[in-house]
Amino acid sequence: MTALPVAITLGDPSGIGPEIIVKMAADPDRPKVDLLVVGDIGILHRTARDLRLNIDIARVTGVAEARGRGGAALSVLQPGADLPEDLPVGRVDARSGAAAYASVQAAIDLALAGAVRAIVTAPLNKEALYAAGVRYPGHTEILADRCGVADFAMMLANDELRVLLVSIHLSLTDAIAAVTPESEIRAIRLAHQAGRAFGLAAPRVAVAGLNPHAGENGMFGREDLDIVAPAIARARTEGIDATGPWPGDTVFMRARKGEFDVVVAQYHDQGLIPVKYLGVDNGVNITVGLPFVRTSVDHGTAFDIAGTGRADPSSLAYALKIALAMTGG
C-alpha cells in the first residue's frame, strides 16, 4: 500500500514559498515521498516556468489522486479561486494573506481526517494575514486553535540543538508574566514528549533560567527560585529527566556539546537566537502538542528576494526530512 502523502502549504504566495517548494520538488536527492501542495496551482506553474524547472505539476481534487506519483511530481489541491496573475511579488497583499490562511486551514482539515502523513508549512507573512482580517500572529496559534489544544509549544531544531519555548509571540513584559507554574510544567512535559517523538527513550531536558545566572539564588529575581525550580522538581516526580534552571548564557552551548537533548527556553528570543545563529538552512520549526506532525521552515517570507530566483530550499527540505522522521522514517 502506498504511504500517505505529505501536505505542503504554499505559504504567502507573494513570498518565497512557491519558489522553495518547486526547487525542493525538483531536487533529485529529496525523499521520494508523494507531495501534496495545498495552494494555488497557477503560481506554482509560473514559478517553475520562470526557474526553468521540469516538474510534473498536476491539479487534484482529493488525496487519492496524489498517491503513488513520486519523483519530481507535485500534486496540487487548490482550496479557493485562482489568484490573479498580476499578484504582487515581494509586497504585502491582503489577497496573499487570505490565500495563505486558506491553504493552512485546508491542510489542517486533511491532517485531522488522517488523510495525510504530516503537514510541512512554507512561511506566512503576519502583515498580510492581518490585512486579510486574520488575527493570528503565526502558524502555531492557528494550528492550536483549530485543533482545540491548550497544551502546545513551538520547538526549533537543527542538527545541533532542539529548543522548546515556554511562550511564543509575546512582548518581553508579557513573556515574563507568562512564566507560571502551569506554563513551566507544561513546557517541560512537551519537551519530554518531543524528545520521545525523535526516538529518545529518556530525553534529557534542560530548563533555561529566566534571569541572569538563573537568578543567582534569588539575587537577580525570584522567578527561577520560586516558579521554575519547583516545576522541574515536579517533572522529575513524573519520571521526566529534567534539570535546571541553568543559566541561559551557557545552557545552549552545553546542549550543543551533547549534555542535553532538549532545552526549554523561557521566551522567544532566548530560544531562537542560538538556533538561528547556527543557520536557518538546516533549521526546522515544529509545533508540539498537536494530534498530527507539523514542521516548518525556520525563516520568513523573504520579500526582499522573492521573485529573484535566489531563495534556498534547504530549510524546507530539512522540514520534510524531520516530518518523515517523526512519522516513522
**Measuring CA to CA, which residue among 66, 89, 85 is closest to residue 11?**
89
pLDDT attached to residue 329: 65
Query: Which three cell numbers mark 188?
Result: 517541560
C-alpha span between 77 and 60 (Å, rounded):
5
Question: Which SS3 state, helix, strand or coil, does residue 317 take?
Answer: helix
For the segment 16-46, what is each residue's pLDDT rounded down to a tens digit?
999 999 999 999 888 889 999 999 999 999 9
Does the structure show a pLDDT above 70 at 87? yes
Q: Which DSSP symbol is given to 266?
A: S
For 144, residues 6+ apart whose C-beta sits below 8 A from its C-beta are 150, 152, 287, 289, 290
For the segment 256-266, what is each residue's pLDDT rounded down to a tens digit?
999 999 999 99
C-alpha span between 314 and 302 (Å, rounded):
14
Does the structure show a pLDDT above 70 at 71? no
pLDDT attached to residue 197: 87
Percent of the chain with pLDDT over 90: 79
- Give 2's pLDDT tier (boundaries 50, 70, 90): low
- Give 321's pLDDT tier (boundaries 50, 70, 90): very high
Does the structure show a pLDDT above 50 at 191? yes
Q: Are 298 and 285 in contact (CB under 8 A)?
A: yes
Does the structure show a pLDDT above 50 at 201? yes
Does the structure show a pLDDT above 90 at 9? yes
pTM: 0.88
Does the structure show a pLDDT above 60 at 1? no
- Structural domain boundaries of the chain? 6-148+291-325, 159-274
How many angstroms from the chain centroid is the CA of residue 271?
14
Does the structure show a pLDDT above 90 at 78? yes
Does the structure show a pLDDT above 90 at 199? no
Instruction: Name the architecture of domain 6-148+291-325.
Output: 3-Layer(aba) Sandwich (3.40)
CATH for the 159-274 domain, from 1.10.1130.10, 3.40.47.10, 3.40.50.620, 3.40.718.10: 3.40.718.10
Q: In this predicted structure, which of 52-56, 67-71, 201-205, 244-248 has the lowest mean pLDDT?
A: 67-71
| Average pLDDT for 78-86 | 92
Does the structure show a pLDDT above 50 at 302? yes
pLDDT attached to residue 31: 85
**Measuring CA to CA, which residue among 289, 282, 269 is closest to residue 318?**
282
| Average pLDDT for 180-195 | 96
Percent of the chain with pLDDT over 70: 98
pLDDT attached to residue 3: 85
CA torsion, ordered 194, 296, 76, 105, to nearest 10 deg: 80
pLDDT attached to residue 89: 95
Indicate if 159-274 has the same CATH topology as 6-148+291-325: yes
How many other C-beta atoms can be found within 10 angstroms of the C-beta atom of residue 258? 9
Q: Are 44 and 22 in contact (CB under 8 A)?
A: yes
Q: Are 165 and 271 in contact (CB under 8 A)?
A: yes
C-alpha span between 295 and 311 (Å, rounded):
19
